[in-house]
Amino acid sequence: MPSGLCVGMDVGKRALDVNAYGSAEVRRFSNAVEGWGKLIAWLKELAPALVVMEASGGYERNAFKALAEAGLAVAVVNPQRVRKFAQAMGILAKTDTIDARVIAHFADVVRPTPQLPPTEDEERLAALVERRRQLVVNLTAKKNRLSTCLASLKDDIQEHIEYLEEHILKLEDEIQALIVLDPDRQARAERIDSVPGIGPVTASTMVAELPELGKLNRQQIAALVGVAPFNKDSGKKHGKRKTTGGRAGVRRTLYLATLSASIHNPVIRPHYQSLLKRGKEKKVALVACMRKMLTIVNAMVRKGEMWQYSQNP
């Protein structure tokens, strides 16, 4: 096991609760500029090998960036992983202090890979992609409401729909402008977009929210997105394989692209039809096709290639 001190951090809107593994003490710092400065000074005295914090709805973002830019090795992890770790250790209670100690223990055992802070453009791109996703959800809700609302409200709702559609188009223009600013991002987007069934929205989402694309193997990238099936076998019992976790935004976008690819893509379409003929449920077949699509795109980005009809991951 790698050596070196690990530090766990429970992130809240206003405070950061921090524990150095092996110590009973949990220190609290403000989740603001002044608090980050004091935290960094304390951590530099400790010289930890790794600092781990949970993703906390965006409240962790600025603290992570401050620590990473100060030269500390920092990893942000899915809170579900930490909760399951705590349950496995028999820790059912949940407070900020307990969570900080649990995260420190998790960090020492698991040693997640540190991450680099995003650049200003990368941060902006990810925020724009997420904002577009939020507006699309809102737009869909408005369109559904339009068909059942009172006649006297139709004009008002239609006006809101037109506003949302216009704003989404502006966001898409800004997203594309940010992508073409960086030659590497633009090249990745063009390779992804060249796959039949994938369009600019899916390409920009994968560029913004899946920077690991092309850097991991097929199993790792599938698990990261949440389309890797996991066994549930025990003795003679063979349970249903299920996918779990992963990056929900990327997965939703990839699902829609796969629906299109199951009709138009010359590799995905026969694969999908073959799975259905073998008795697979439509949803199961689509998830399998999502995994195949992702594997193909991952290989293309890694090799620096555009789509070819004979793609074979």
Task: Pick 137 or 245 by higher pLDDT.
Answer: 137
Q: What is the mean pLDDT of the chain?
A: 89
DSSP state at residue 153: G
Q: What is the mean pLDDT of residues 175-203?
A: 94
Q: Which value, in Å, is the radius of gyration of the alpha carbons in the chain?
A: 22
- According to the CATH classification, is domain 6-110 in 3.30.420.10? yes
pLDDT at 233: 44
Does pLDDT of 308 surpass 90? no
Q: In this structure, which long-range contacts are made by residues 237-241, counting pairs with CB atoms below 8 Å and at least 24 apart in sequence?
A: none
Q: Per-residue pLDDT for 238 more than 60? A: no
Instruction: Dig out the tokens for 252 from the structure.
Output: 């939703």
Count other Cβ atoms within 10 Å, centred on residue 248. 12
pLDDT band at residue 237, thresholds of 50, 70 and 90?
very low
CB contact at 8 A, 291 and 271: no
Q: What is the pLDDT of residues 159-186, one digit of tens each?
A: 999 999 999 999 999 999 999 999 999 9
pLDDT tens, 239-284? 455 555 578 889 999 999 999 999 999 999 999 999 999 999 999 9
Place of tokens 């349950």: 87
pLDDT, position 239: 46
Between CA 9 and CA 73 the distance in angstroms is 13
The yes-or-no verdict on residue 232 having pLDDT over 90 is no
- Whole-angstrom CA distances from 211 to 74, 116, 247, 279, 301 are 17, 11, 12, 35, 11
Q: Which residue has the tokens 């697979």?
A: 280
Residue 223: the pLDDT is 87
Write down the pLDDT at residue 167.
97
Instruction: Check residue 118 and give its pLDDT.
Output: 84
Sequential DSSP letters for 226-288: T---B--EETTEEPPPB---S-HHHHHHHHHHHHHHHHH-TTHHHHHHHHHHTT--HHHHHHH
Give me 48's structure tokens. Answer: 């930890």
pLDDT in tens, 65-123: 999 999 999 999 988 889 999 999 898 888 989 999 999 999 999 999 898 888 889 88
Residues 6 or more apart whose CB falls under 8 angstroms from that of 55 comprise: 76, 77, 78, 79
Judged by DSSP in three states, 55 sits in coil
C-alpha distances in Å from residue 85, one per residue of 89, 108, 216, 241, 246: 6, 12, 25, 22, 17
pLDDT over 60 (residue 1): no
For residues 309 and 296, the model is more confident at: 296
* pLDDT at residue 240, rounded to an integer: 54
| pLDDT band with cut points at 50, 70 and 90 for residue 35 | very high
The whole model's pTM is what? 0.76
